[in-house]
Structure 1
Amino acid sequence: MLKNIRNKIKHILGNETNSSILTLLSGSTLSSLIALAMLPVITRIYSPETLGVFYFAVSLSLTISPAIAFRYEMAVVLSKARTAANNVWFLSLFLITINTLFLSLLVLLSTLLDYKLLGQSSSIIAIAVIFTFLNGVTLLNQQMLASFADFSRIAQNNLAKTASYSILAVILGYLSNSFEMLALAHATAMVLVIYLALKGKWKLINVRISRLRIKYAAKRFDKFPKINTLSVFLNNLSLYLPVFMITKFFTLEDVGFFMLATRIVEVPYRVLMDSFRGVYYKHASHAFHANELKASYLSMLKKLIIVGLPVTLGLFVFSELLIVTLFSEEWKRAIPFIYLLLGFKFFQLLYNPLASTLVILEKQHFILILVTVSLVFRFFIMLIFNETVFELLTAFVISSAFFYVLYNLVIFTMVKKQKPSIKP
């Protein structure tokens, strides 16, 4: 029976990419199931407010970390030669380190001046900076592994990260159910993943590295820091804007309920987005050089719709039962958030794996324009409609869905301009 299901999934996904997608999908599914299974335990150990503080720190780090290397890590996969990819990797690591030191100095200065950055204590911001560095290196290593087409290692690392964080969060929580214990569990899990990514690969990437080659790589891919970095930062800011807006207008306890809703809804969608995104970027890069990017884009969009619709409907039907059955009474306040986030996640699924298409086309300036308009639009909509948390999130979901549809229309307009390859 399982073999028949696997064969059917392979038939739906197609012949070219099914092996890589299924590899990432299986690893991400297992890690997400572990996270979901441990979530009821974690929510019984830590209060909504404590989890709200933790989610604020994680959201801040996830807003900054994808841009901390000025997006040069994306060029690791785009580099045709192994030597070029290796030098881009070292360039990215250098930028991550320098930018982390700069952020640390800002936190130190705010502490000396007794100034609260983003309205939070310096200790919370400092931990967010540590998360930023570790997540930046993790993202860099994912691109490195993708350049080796080692998707099984990526899947294994995701599993190790989720399992180690969940176990440590529970163990440390019984010692002290504080924000610091959650932070320690999260940081330890990321350090483990970084080690696992470099294990066996260090000798392969630490080859033919020179200052001249690094400078050449920085110049060759200079569109990433000039345009793509700002667009990615603004996009992540718009993505985590609800966390910052809820923190501003409501309470960290509300952030905790929003966190639970996000984690439950995000489990299946994150599995799909992580699996499809890594594979699509690799294969779409090759499709671009073969003048077959349009076919690759449309094929992936179709797969996302086929997989995304039943997932969304299933969660809509069973999410309330899941909350009532597995979580304590106080967490029922998260149920309305879940219903709202389902619409947001479905449209995000149709956008996230395909967003790199404009990067492959080197049309980063379009990304910057779209993301800037989206951020401004989302911010003012949420600024106007914020009488309640529910109203604020409704404004966020509607404005986000509009942006994701518009983004895909722009991608389709760009890829259909590419002429089909002429076979001899």
Structure 2
Amino acid sequence: MLNKIQQLTKSNFARNVAIVATGTAGAQAIAMAFSPAITRIYGPDTFGAMGTFIAIFEIVSPLAALSYPIAMVLPEKDSDAIGLAKASLWIALLSSFIATLVLLTFKTPIVNTFNLKAIEPYILLLPATMLFSVLVAIATQWTIRKKLFKLKAWSTIMQSLIINSMKTGFGLINPAAMILIATTSLGYLLQAALIWIGIKTKKESAFLTKEPDKPILDLLKEYKDFAYYRTPQILLNSTSQSLPILMLANLFTPASVGFYVLARTVLFVPTTLIGTSVGEVFYPKFVEAVRQGLSGRYLLIKACISLAAIGCAPYIILIIFGPSIFSTIFGENWFEAGEYARWMSAWLFVVLVTRPIVAAIPALSLQGLFLAFEILSTLLRIAAIFVGYLWLNTALGAIIAFSLINIVIYAILAGWVIRKS
């Protein structure tokens, strides 16, 4: 056992995971340290407005660059990755411009149709946030490709410290939804800037100026699966994951959206800390194994089992003590968020365990089948929310049904991808 532990600590994979996890942990620790103050400054209704904005952004953001940044890890030549980055940026500029025109022309009908009055004053921030998120995606994928994990960790920590300080400081002056939404949008631009600064100080600075060897149109055609299959898949997944927020906003009160947003934020801490760290290091390792003609099944099963062992403790604690933990840390107004967290914990634990599964899909060329799977999953999630709403006629009932169907969906996905690998 001791030898296995020593081998694990000496492996590059474990060290890289530890580096990324340190950055993510630092950022999450900072966010959690500020949360008791922020939740007491703003309140559930204001959080609900921010949550609605984020839900809309998560739905439209996959269209910003058509998922081409994700492909940057795959090419053998850096020049091809550079071409994909530049193509992604041009697509993002065009899509943000189109989104701005659409919102300027049809803002009132859109707001009335989808009951978005809570975020109407801030809806024009969406196109800018889309563009900023693509800048982060490009920078992040380059750090993953070049294994600049320390840079990624540093930028994540600094972004969290600056943005949460702004939310708290400006909130003391004016605790309005505009502060939460604007700082959330600015956070993407800030993190992109921090990563670019780090890249410039390293030997990778040529990435900013070097011209790609292949024509950009050829690269877009070569990696068209990301636009044809991965983008609709991510769009459907984002839509289905945002459904609770949008439906809570329409069927219940803004406060219920706020409860869900806080519960999801807290529960995503272990998922983000552990799952993202493993996923970012696992993805290039899995791609390399597939290139060499090796079976990826062992790598997938090992990664999933490891995540299950590491991540079970925090979710079990929240299932047992969720309401009391939330009311103690965030204030008595947030007791209901703890009830949401109880049921959401089992679902997000499964999400954590299956992060390597989702990361492996592009390398296995399963994106077409994954799109079909996502369509079916979205329909099941919609049906589950309606069943929960009709079953208990409460926001909590909708959350319970949504959580249970997600457990089933992710379990089926894991078995399917492992079999294909």
The normalised TM-score by structure 1 is 0.91
TM-superposed CA distance for 1:385, in Å, is 2.2
Shift in alpha-carbon separation, 1:65–1:9, aligned structure 2, 3 A: farther
Deviations 1:190-246 (A, max 9, x none): 222111111143532134425952112111101111111101110111122111111
Question: In 2, distance between residues paired with 1:149 and 1:403?
Answer: 32
SS at match of 1:177: coil
Q: Is 2:63–2:95's contact at 8 Å kept on the other side of the alignment?
A: no
TM-superposed CA distance for 1:8, in Å, is 8.8
Question: In 2, distance between residues paired with 1:68 and 1:259?
Answer: 24
User: 5 Å matches for 1:268-347?
Assistant: 268-292=270-294, 293-347=296-350
User: 5 Å matches for 1:154-303?
Assistant: 154-201=152-199, 203-209=205-211, 213-292=215-294, 293-303=296-306
Question: In 2, distance between residues paired with 1:128 and 1:244?
Answer: 16
User: 5 Å matches for 1:85-164?
Assistant: 85-111=81-107, 116=112, 118-121=114-117, 122-164=120-162
Question: In 2, distance between residues paired with 1:113 and 1:168?
Answer: 33
Tell me the equivalent position of 1:36: 32
Deviates more, 1:51-60 or 1:183-192: 183-192
SS at match of 1:54: helix
The yes-or-no answer on 1:362 pairing with 2:358 is no
The normalised TM-score by structure 2 is 0.92
Question: In 2, distance between residues paired with 1:181 and 1:40?
Answer: 17
Question: In 2, distance between residues paired with 1:115 and 1:253?
Answer: 19
Choose from 61, 66, 71 the match for 2:57: 61
Deviations 1:387-423 (A, max 9, x none): 11111011101111111011111101111xxxxxxxx
Q: Is 1:86–1:207's contact at 8 Å kept on the other side of the alignment?
A: no
The yes-or-no answer on 1:80 pairing with 2:76 is yes
Shift in alpha-carbon separation, 1:113–1:30, aligned structure 2, 3 A: closer
Runs of 4+ off more than 6 Å = 7-10
Deviates more, 1:379-388 or 1:195-204: 195-204
Deviations 1:285-314 (A, max 9, x none): 111112232222122112111112223223
Q: Is 1:72–1:224's contact at 8 Å kept on the other side of the alignment?
A: yes
Deviations 1:53-90 (A, max 9, x none): 01111122123224421111111111111111111100
Deviations 1:164-195 (A, max 9, x none): 11100011111211111112322333222111
Tell me the equivalent position of 1:402: 408
TM-superposed CA distance for 1:114, in Å, is 8.1
Q: Is 1:385–1:392's contact at 8 Å kept on the other side of the alignment?
A: yes
The yes-or-no answer on 1:371 pairing with 2:374 is yes
Deviations 1:332-363 (A, max 9, x none): 12111010110111111122332021211112
SS at match of 2:365: coil
Deviates more, 1:182-191 or 1:208-217: 208-217
Q: Is 2:129–2:186's contact at 8 Å kept on the other side of the alignment?
A: no
Q: Is 1:23–1:155's contact at 8 Å kept on the other side of the alignment?
A: yes
Q: Is 1:83–1:207's contact at 8 Å kept on the other side of the alignment?
A: no
Letter aligned with residue 105 of structure 1:
L
Letter aligned with residue 39 of structure 1:
S
Aligned-residue CA RMSD (Å): 2.2
Deviates more, 1:136-145 or 1:400-409: 136-145
Deviates more, 1:58-67 or 1:315-324: 315-324
Deviates more, 1:249-258 or 1:182-191: 182-191
Deviations 1:221-274 (A, max 9, x none): 011111111011101111221111111211111101111111221112211121
Question: In 2, distance between residues paired with 1:153 and 1:118?
Answer: 40
Shift in alpha-carbon separation, 1:210–1:18, aligned structure 2, 3 A: closer
Q: Give the paired residue count.
A: 410
Question: In 1, distance between residues paired with 2:323 and 2:81?
Answer: 47
SS at match of 2:51: helix
Q: Is 1:287–1:296's contact at 8 Å kept on the other side of the alignment?
A: no
Question: In 1, distance between residues paired with 2:191 and 2:281?
Answer: 20
Q: Is 2:64–2:92's contact at 8 Å kept on the other side of the alignment?
A: yes
Shift in alpha-carbon separation, 1:161–1:116, aligned structure 2, 3 A: farther
Question: In 2, distance between residues paired with 1:313 and 1:112?
Answer: 45
Q: Is 1:67–1:232's contact at 8 Å kept on the other side of the alignment?
A: no
TM-superposed CA distance for 1:41, in Å, is 0.2
Q: Which runs of 5+ in 2 are unaligned?
A: none
Q: Is 2:297–2:419's contact at 8 Å kept on the other side of the alignment?
A: no
Deviations 1:27-73 (A, max 9, x none): 11111111111111001110211111011111221232244211111
TM-superposed CA distance for 1:278, in Å, is 0.5
Q: Is 1:88–1:217's contact at 8 Å kept on the other side of the alignment?
A: yes
Shift in alpha-carbon separation, 1:25–1:10, aligned structure 2, 3 A: farther
Q: Is 1:77–1:85's contact at 8 Å kept on the other side of the alignment?
A: yes
